[in-house]
Structure 1
Amino acid sequence: MTYPDDLPPPSATWFTHRGVPLIRTVASALTALDAVTGLDAFTLPYPPEAQRALDRTVLACLERGAEPPLSLPDLLSWCRERPVADWPVDLPADVLGPEDLLLDPESSRPTELCHEWAELSTDSAGRQRDREIVFAALRLCREHGEEDAYTAFRRLLVERPVLTSAEAFLVSVDHVLDPVKELLRRIYRPVPDSYLRKGEYAVCGRCRTLLAPVGDGSWWCERDRCRRRGEAPIERRIPREESGELLQLERPLRQFVTGPGQAEAELETALTGLGLRVRMWPGYDAYDLHVTFPDGWMWAVDVKDWAHPAFLGRAARPVPRTPPYDEAFWVVPQSRVTDRPGYLAAYERNRPASARALPLVTDTALRARALTRLRENGNEGEHGA
Structure 2
Amino acid sequence: MTAPHDHPHPRRSRATRRVALALTALLVAGLAALAPGSPAQASGPAVASVGDVSVVEGDTGTRVVKVPVTLTNPATTASTVAFAVTAGSADGTDLVLRTGTLKFTPNITGETKTAGAIAVKITGDTTVEGDETFTVTLTGATGGITLGDTTGVGTIVDDDPGPGGPVVSVADTTIVEGDTARTPTTTNNVAVAVTLSEPAPGPLDVVATVAAGTATTGADFKKAYTKTVTFKPGQTTKAVSVGVLPDTTPEADETVTVTLTSPSPGLTIGAATATVTIRDDDTPPTSGTLWAWGYNGDGQLGTGDTTDQTSPVQIGTGTDWASVTAGDSHTVAIRTDGTLWAWGRNGYGQLGTGDTTNRTSPVQIGTGTDWASVTAG
TM range (shorter): under 0.3
Q: Which has the higher helix share?
A: 1
Taking CA–CA contacts closer than 8 Å with sequence separation of 6 or more, which of the two structures ends up with the larger relative contact order?
A: 1
**Larger Cα-atom Rg:** 2
TM-score, length basis structure 2: 0.22
